[in-house]
Amino acid sequence: MRLKIVQAGEPVLRQAARPLTSQEILGDEIQRLIRDMKETMRDAPGVGLAAPQIGLSLQLAVIEDREESLKELPPQELAEKDRRPVLFHVIINPQITLTGDDKASFYEGCLSVARFSAIVPRARAVHVEYLDEQGEPRSVEASGWYSRILQHEIDHLRGTLYLDRMQTRTFTSIDNWSRFWKGKPIGEP
Assess contact for 29 and 23: CB atoms under 8 A.
no
**Which one from 29, 141, 153, 188 is the annotated catalytic residue?**
153
80 is known as an active-site residue? no
How many whole angstroms separate alpha carbon 169 and alpha carbon 166?
Answer: 9
Which residue type sits at 171? F
Is the bond into 19 cis (omega within 30 degrees of 0)?
Answer: no
Looking at the DSSP assignment, which residues form a beta bridge with residue 107? 119
Helices (H), ranges, 71-132: 75-81
CA-based angle 122:187:96, to the nearest 5? 5
DSSP per-residue string spanning 148-163: HHHHHHHHHHTT--GG
3-state secondary structure of 57: coil
Which residue type sits at 41? M
Which amino acids are annotated catalytic?
Answer: 153
